[in-house]
Structure 1
Amino acid sequence: MNLAGKAVVVTGAGRGLGAAYARLAAAEGASVIVNDVDAAAAEAVVADIRAAGGAAEPAVASIADWAGAGSVVQACVDAFGAIDGLVNNAGIFRLANPVEQDPDEFRAVLEVNVLGTAYCGLHAIRAMLARGTGSIVNVTSGSHAGSAAMGAYGASKGAVASLTYCWAADLAGTGVRVNAVSPNAHTRMADAYDSYLGAAAQGQNVAKSPAQNAPAVVYLLSDASADLHGQIVRIDGDELSMVAHPTVQGHGAQNPAWTASAVAAAFASGSVGPISPVGLHRTA
């Protein structure tokens, strides 16, 4: 019972990855707030948790709204007396080539994935700091390193990664931790990706279940991960790994008076350092 006695909010928990996180957190002893904009979906997950002997309550609200996000965190405090953990899972997914990108869809993705994560986190941080303890788990994606047709989604998940790093710096030494996961599973999002890209998608998520991602999230919520802060944990089927922070490669080229031609020469000589490929890749 890694989470015994803890009160946890999971956003976007009506189905898919969020539902898997909520179910396992409850099975590991947490009291869980199941948030979703779909009341029936949230209540179905709550019913499943209760049927298995766990404690859960629904919280139906849009976390893209400041007050809505606050109501979800407050629901946890009201129902269970505190908030010990937050899984910022809620998100939406839209695919588009840049020349076909609908600006309203782009905005919607950023409002839910970035502002929703930020709003829930800000409310939770304030409640957690008052008690000097808590764990926030944000959800990012390998698409933030570059993926076709994912300009809006990838940008939103890049923002979530940066938010994780910044909050980790803000909260160092407070007892409140912030980490992130980069999951991979066969969900409705994966189906949309496969449908849009066809053969180019390569069906990479087909055999990967949401449940495979949940143990890492439970670990990050638990006291067992007390030494982890500001990290991104990647789950890809049967593989568990770490995603590196953005880093300056090598020592770079030196010049007290750069000109455009000098910059060109530095790149031509390779002295600026290696050029990174687009997309998530593995270091040696």
Structure 2
Amino acid sequence: MTGFLDGKAVVVTGAGRGLGAAYARLAAAEGAAVLVNDVDADLAHAVAASITADGGRAVAAAGTIGTWDGAGEVIDRCVAEFGAIDGLVNNAGIFRLAHPASQDPDEFRAVIEVNLLGTAYCGLHAIRAMLSQGGGSVVNVTSGAHAGSAAMGAYGASKGGVASLTYCWAADLIGTGVRVNAVSPNAHTRMADAFEAYLGADAQGQNVHKPPAQNAPAVIYLLSAAAAGVHGQVVRIDGDELSMIAHPVVQGTGAQDPSWTVEKVAAAFEAGAVGPISPVGLHRA
């Protein structure tokens, strides 16, 4: 029986544990040679060793992806080890919680550097290599937090940037053979533990029945040729539910006036002519 990723070479960043490890293990089980990246060398080597012990093919590549050179080294290592890079899962990320009144600016910067810039740097290196070889698939990891979630200003902003990168790169790469999509996963991980500890009883146990492995099949599908027609999309996985997150849209036809004034804008809002006011946070259309 053939796997969905037979003969493919795939990089998974932040794959030392949790969601990243689940993506790496299933990619290998579906036939890919996997470069297991993590900032923690011991964790990266442990996951790679577990894959090879199960009969798969994997190598570890420790190092940060939060710098241009660091990201380039990860992508170059995949090409050097396996002869190509057919897939990239931009999973590496960090998580900090804070109210705006007490947000530490250094922590905010760190989240953006790893989650957004690390994703961008790895993606840019990988896309250039994929274009030169005639195809490939990038799967970015965003989050429903980008639609608005308490205490997640830094994290939500970084993941909103990842969603925008996905939309923009998809527009750039139409017709090239290189596809870019994103997933918005949900699982009980260290991030979930931190979130629950921060919010206390209001959040306890929300992800307890959502193991990381439950998110992996959608990622492997997006990496595979089976998803050849899927490009520029954000796929949401939430336990047993698989769904799509809509692109930003302009609601309705809006209100028209050739000479807007503040008073006219106020009147248009009061009359509901501008369109509905969206609720804060991720919601169903």
Q: Within the alignment, does 1:132 sit opposite 2:138 as a pair? A: no
Q: C-alpha displacement at 1:277, in angstroms?
A: 0.3
SS of equivalent residue, structure 2 residue 19:
helix
SS of equivalent residue, structure 1 residue 130:
helix
Residue ranges of structure 2 left out of the alignment (5+ in a row): none
Query: Residue 262 of structure 1 aligns with which residue?
Result: 264
Give the Cα–Cα distance (whole angstroms) in 2 for the partners of residues 132 and 26 of structure 1. Answer: 22
Q: 2:174 pairs with 143, 160, 172, which one?
A: 172
Q: Within the alignment, does 1:85 sit opposite 2:87 as a pair? A: yes
Over the matched positions of the two proteins, sequence identity in percent amounts to 78
SS of equivalent residue, structure 2 residue 133:
coil
SS of equivalent residue, structure 1 residue 185:
coil
Q: Within the alignment, does 1:5 sit opposite 2:1 as a pair? A: no
Give the Cα–Cα distance (whole angstroms) in 2 for the partners of residues 63 and 121 of structure 1. Answer: 10
SS of equivalent residue, structure 2 residue 37:
strand
The one-letter code matched in structure 2 to 1:26 is A
Give the Cα–Cα distance (whole angstroms) in 2 for the partners of residues 132 and 74 of structure 1. Answer: 17
Q: C-alpha displacement at 1:131, in angstroms?
A: 1.2
Query: Residue 31 of structure 1 aligns with which residue?
Result: 33
RMSD: 0.5
Provide the aligned length of Structure 1 versus Structure 2.
Answer: 283
Q: Within the alignment, does 1:46 sit opposite 2:48 as a pair? A: yes
Q: Residue by residue, what CA displacement relative to the aligned partner does 1:104-159 show, whole Å, maximum 9, x if unpaired?
A: 00000000000000000000000000011000000000000000000000000000
Query: Residue 151 of structure 1 aligns with which residue?
Result: 153
SS of equivalent residue, structure 1 residue 266:
helix
Q: C-alpha displacement at 1:200, in angstroms?
A: 2.1
Query: Residue 71 of structure 2 aligns with which residue?
Result: 69
Query: Residue 247 of structure 2 aligns with which residue?
Result: 245
TM superposition score normalised by structure 1: 0.99
Residue ranges of structure 1 left out of the alignment (5+ in a row): none
Give the Cα–Cα distance (whole angstroms) in 1 for the partners of residues 152 and 189 of structure 2. Answer: 16
Counterparts of 1:6-21 in structure 2 under 5 Å?
Answer: 6-21=8-23
TM superposition score normalised by structure 2: 0.99
The one-letter code matched in structure 1 to 2:116 is V
SS of equivalent residue, structure 2 residue 73:
helix
Counterparts of 1:106-145 in structure 2 under 5 Å?
Answer: 106-145=108-147
Q: C-alpha displacement at 1:202, in angstroms?
A: 4.5
Give the Cα–Cα distance (whole angstroms) in 1 for the partners of residues 12 and 124 of structure 2. Answer: 15
Q: Residue by residue, what CA displacement relative to the aligned partner does 1:255-277 show, whole Å, maximum 9, x if unpaired?
A: 00000010000000001111110
Query: Residue 191 of structure 2 aligns with which residue?
Result: 189
Q: C-alpha displacement at 1:88, in angstroms?
A: 0.1
The one-letter code matched in structure 2 to 1:15 is R
Give the Cα–Cα distance (whole angstroms) in 2 for the partners of residues 124 and 230 of structure 1. Answer: 16
Q: C-alpha displacement at 1:280, in angstroms?
A: 0.4
Which 10-residue stretch deviates more, 201-210 or 270-279?
Answer: 201-210
SS of equivalent residue, structure 2 residue 137:
strand
Contact 2:197/2:204 (<8 A) preserved: no
Q: Within the alignment, does 1:279 sit opposite 2:275 as a pair? A: no
SS of equivalent residue, structure 1 residue 14:
coil
Give the Cα–Cα distance (whole angstroms) in 2 for the partners of residues 145 and 130 of structure 1. Answer: 35
Give the Cα–Cα distance (whole angstroms) in 1 for the partners of residues 122 and 20 of structure 2. Answer: 15
Give the Cα–Cα distance (whole angstroms) in 1 for the partners of residues 97 and 208 of structure 2. Answer: 18
Query: Residue 96 of structure 1 aligns with which residue?
Result: 98
Give the Cα–Cα distance (whole angstroms) in 1 for the partners of residues 58 and 203 of structure 2. Answer: 37
SS of equivalent residue, structure 1 residue 234:
strand
Give the Cα–Cα distance (whole angstroms) in 2 for the partners of residues 202 and 155 of structure 1. Answer: 24
SS of equivalent residue, structure 1 residue 241:
strand
Q: Residue by residue, what CA displacement relative to the aligned partner does 1:165-216 show, whole Å, maximum 9, x if unpaired?
A: 0000000100000000000000000000000011222532111000000000
Q: 2:232 pairs with 230, 249, 267, which one?
A: 230
